Structure 1
């Protein structure tokens, strides 16, 4: 080949592509994972569209996952962020959902991965993707026959998980695809990883009405004006006094560890099983309650009603301190 002294150099001069978010489907097409160029990462199990891992740029895990959690699709995942729909807990007095299992079927159904979208940041020197949004879908067609019989309504769900440099956002769109109205509840059951339950407090719930599900009988009361602390088995449904737009924060050792901002999710459930975790078969280790706190954004007090063709949307953004 003749060496040309004036050969084109355009190819060599073309700058490389900006770093992109990497999205993969692995484990026999059961887990969708995403990693930003800056190192933040998330993993979502298609069974339940359950987020089972969220790491910051340094590789530090932000979610608590039980050592006995099942990720093979045999049962709901203990830990991470399971998705509750169309009923929170069990509702024996609500005819439409009375036949459903605990927390409904969304966390025990296999979702479809609908794809990704990304955004670029111009404020960073390296450029590239600053976030990646992963969409998952569930409809009546995806349900087991048992679930269809227990809840025979036509519906469509789109669940979006957005991984950013600053935090993790989750949102759900609920659509009534049928010809008659139905009601639902939904909740994002976030298990946040902490270092020591005795050193945390939760702000944003001061002077708020809450249902205490541990008391017998179950009672409704108002929290004090101080931040919430955990010193025993806790299962409370708060309606924050400052409204749905006010952030709720987990503070550990005097420093803010997580901040949760909600959109159209009016309730916040705070849960820690304490030593009663010994009665939960898939909870491990038995002292794991010391390293987790559930602060769960949801619409679970009463029911959301959708007429035929109507849609409803709610979501949260969790920001983690670095």
Structure 2
């Protein structure tokens, strides 16, 4: 019998480092040189690089890397709400908390999705959390980096409370682009959206693709499971595929709002766009013991790609 090919060890492809605040970060790698970095502060994906070492996630040069606030950029996990609804705080509180590495994830987390490396993270509600949101829960996150460089986030929310609760959820995904005025988003044509710049009034998308000429802050409803973000200048396309996340948030602050944000550069709106897989319009209801699952997969392909919906 011949020698078998060496097997890439998913666990060995993980490195634990510390950031400048002493908080653990997990670095995932694949054999081709792609990588992802996840902070235990918020379970936030801070970096996703392709096999040429190019950063694919936007982080502001003015981001504040200090607990207890999430940094501006990457992929914060927004739970149990997205938006500003009073309490709990804007976009929820789990993005501002310290998570743990889940060494013994449940069997249902065993689907590796073709992962080259992965990590399982866990956040359980604390006594402090119950003061602002009076429900006990477990939130599990698996971040996987595939052999082909794709990034996959799988989340599971379990109600360990004695009564039902409802929540919203979003992967607040900040993507690097060359020039926002050259970006178009396909897959949301003809859909209804809530415009956060017009008191959440409902409109119907009229264009054959979304392009950017001013501030955009919209929640697209009942969206397809695949969305494409085309960056013409770089000749590459991000494809977002999602499950359990019927809505898509599209956001770019443009010039005026950029200047008003202390943790965002005045001109940085030109190099980023947020396209978030989310469940917002109809909050998810969980009875005691029930669990919700959501998934988002990020792929980068040449811009000759055509989204077949």
What TM-score results when the alignment is normalised by the length of structure 1?
Answer: 0.84
Shift of 1:29: 4.9
Asked if structure 2 preserves the Cα contact closer than 8 Å seen for 1:45 and 1:71, the reply is no
Asked if structure 1 preserves the Cα contact closer than 8 Å seen for 2:102 and 2:121, the reply is yes
Per-residue CA deviation, residues 60-114 of structure 1 (Å, 9 max, x unaligned), is 110000112233323111000001000111225xxxxxx2111111100111112
Q: 1:211–1:118: structure 2 CA closer, same or farther, 3 Å change rule?
A: closer
Shift of 1:119: 6.0
Structure 1 distance, partners of 2:209, 2:3, is 56
Asked if structure 2 preserves the Cα contact closer than 8 Å seen for 1:118 and 1:132, the reply is no
Are 2:221 and 1:227 aligned? no
Asked if structure 2 preserves the Cα contact closer than 8 Å seen for 1:120 and 1:131, the reply is no
SS of 2:197 mapped into structure 1: coil
Per-residue CA deviation, residues 150-179 of structure 1 (Å, 9 max, x unaligned), is 112111110111111241111210000011
Asked if structure 1 preserves the Cα contact closer than 8 Å seen for 2:194 and 2:200, the reply is yes
RMSD: 2.2
Are 2:18 and 1:34 aligned? no
Q: Flag the structure with larger Rg.
A: 1
Unaligned runs of 5+ in 2: 303-309
Per-residue CA deviation, residues 171-225 of structure 1 (Å, 9 max, x unaligned), is 210000011101100000000001011111000000010011112x431100014
User: What stretches of structure 1 move > 2 A for 4+ residues in a row?
Assistant: 13-21, 70-74, 115-121
Asked if structure 2 preserves the Cα contact closer than 8 Å seen for 1:194 and 1:291, the reply is yes
Of the three residues 93, 96, 101, the one matched with 2:89 is 101
What is the aligned partner in structure 2 of residue 140 from structure 1? 125
Unaligned runs of 5+ in 1: 1-12, 93-98, 122-129
Of the three residues 8, 16, 27, the one matched with 1:25 is 16
Of the three residues 89, 94, 102, the one matched with 1:114 is 102
Q: How many residues align?
A: 288
What is the aligned partner in structure 2 of residue 301 from structure 1? 281
Of the three residues 172, 175, 178, the one matched with 1:192 is 175
Asked if structure 2 preserves the Cα contact closer than 8 Å seen for 1:244 and 1:263, the reply is no
Of the three residues 232, 242, 245, the one matched with 1:253 is 232
What is the aligned partner in structure 1 of residue 249 from structure 2? 269
What is the aligned partner in structure 1 of residue 54 from structure 2? 60
What TM-score results when the alignment is normalised by the length of structure 2?
Answer: 0.87
